[in-house]
Amino acid sequence: MRAMTGKRYIALLRGVNVGRAKRIAMADLRKLVGDLGYTEVRSVLNSGNLVFSGPVRPQDQVAGEIEETLVLKLGVAARVLVLDAGELASIIAGNPLLGQAGDHSRLLAFILSDPHAHPQAREALEALCGQDWHPGAAALGGRAAYVWCPGGILDSAAAAALGKQLGDTTTSRNWATLLKLHALCTEAA
């Protein structure tokens, strides 16, 4: 196993490298996070997904530090959501839609920034997830809302409704990406 002190983090940048706005080279992003003192910085795909190690700190502080440095060093304003490896493992273990989702690129997880901060927002999500989205489906877990989009993500009414409800307080990733991030968190050094 990994011999490290500290914590394994996952940073998810919202809206990076989607279209022409907020363009960031992953090498620059890895360097930026490494320059902040974090180690073992790895990126997954080209859409702002990082796994790194560092001292135990509140995740909102880690996210704020990355957000501020993105603006100062790269001129990019992007919301950053930071999880630890245990939270990512819980999100993966808690997905009730895996049995019906045959294509991991069409299974989304909307990661909730703070699932306990706004009870009214959670109630609204529970109502949305309780609707019949056939042939797709939606379900709410402790730290994520899951959406199965068999006809494609862009054509999913459930994904659109959850995205609208959550606004910029969340970011979503497809299941295949989350599994890659989880594999990086658990691989031996």
CA dihedral sign, ordered 110, 93, 42, 59: positive
Q: For position 115, what pLDDT does the model report?
A: 63
Q: Could you read off the pLDDT of 89-126 as tens digits, one per residue?
A: 999 999 999 999 889 999 999 998 776 666 777 888 89
Q: For position 3, what pLDDT does the model report?
A: 43
Query: Range of 66's domain?
Result: 7-88
Residues 6+ apart with CB under 8 A from 130: none
Q: Are residues 108 and 167 in the same domain?
A: yes
- Give yes or no for residue 167 having a pLDDT over 90: no
The pTM assigned to this predicted structure is 0.89
Question: Would you put residue 45 in left (φ > 0), alpha (ψ -120 to 50) or beta?
Answer: left
Q: Is residue 2 part of a domain?
A: no
Share of residues in the chain with pLDDT > 70 (%): 92
Q: Which residue has the tokens 């993500």?
A: 153
Task: Yes or no: say if 178 and 92 are a contact pair by the CB < 8 Å rule.
Answer: yes
Q: Is residue 187 part of a domain?
A: no
18 pLDDT band (50/70/90 cuts)? Answer: low
CATH number of residue 32's parent domain: 3.30.70.1280
Q: For position 117, what pLDDT does the model report?
A: 61
Q: Is residue 13 part of a domain?
A: yes
Q: Are residues 165 and 105 in the same domain?
A: yes
Q: Are residues 175 and 115 in the same domain?
A: yes
Least Cα distance to 94 among 156, 168, 184, 178 occurs for: 178
Q: Is residue 186 part of a domain?
A: no
- Give yes or no for residue 1 having a pLDDT over 50: no
Q: For position 24, what pLDDT does the model report?
A: 84
Q: Are residues 78 and 119 in the same domain?
A: no
Q: Could you read off the pLDDT of 122-164 as tens digits, one per residue?
A: 888 899 999 999 999 999 998 999 999 999 999 999 999 999 9
- Give yes or no for residue 2 having a pLDDT over 50: no
Total number of domains in the chain? 2
189 pLDDT band (50/70/90 cuts)? Answer: very low
Higher pLDDT, 5 or 125: 125
* Alpha-carbon span 53 to 7, nearest angstrom: 6
Q: Are residues 63 and 82 in the same domain?
A: yes
Q: Could you read off the pLDDT of 36-95 as tens digits, one per residue?
A: 999 999 998 877 899 999 999 999 999 999 999 999 998 888 899 999 999 999 999 999
Least Cα distance to 110 among 141, 146, 75 occurs for: 146
Q: For position 82, what pLDDT does the model report?
A: 95
Last residue of one domain, picked from the residues 60, 88, 116: 88
Q: Are residues 79 and 33 in the same domain?
A: yes
